[in-house]
Amino acid sequence: MKKVVVLTGAGMSAESGLSTFRDSGGLWDRYPVEDVATPEGYARNPELVTRFYNERRHQLEEVRPCRGHELLAAMERDYDVTIVTQNVDNLHERAGSTKVIHLHGELMKVTSSREPNNPKYIRELKPEEWEVKMGDRAADGSQLRPFIVWFGEPVPMIEKAIEVAEQADVFVVIGTSLNVYPAAGLLNYVPPKAPIYVIDPKPVAGIHPGGRVYHLMKGASEGVEELLALLKK
By annotation, the residues acting in catalysis are: 104
- Other C-beta atoms lying within 10 Å of the C-beta of residue 140: 13
CA within 13 Å, CB half, 211: 7
Asked if 185 and 204 count as a contact pair (C-beta separation under 8 A), the reply is: no
Q: What does the DSSP assignment read for 89-155? A: S-HHHHHT-S-EEETTEEEEEEEESS-TT-GGG-EEPPGGG-S--TT-B-TTSSBEEEEE--TTS--
Omega before residue 191 within 30° of 0, cis: no
Of 226, 210, 138, 157, give the one whose Cα is nearest residue 7: 157
Residue 134: CB partners within 8 Å, gap ≥ 6? 46, 47, 50, 143
**SS3 assignment, position 156:** coil
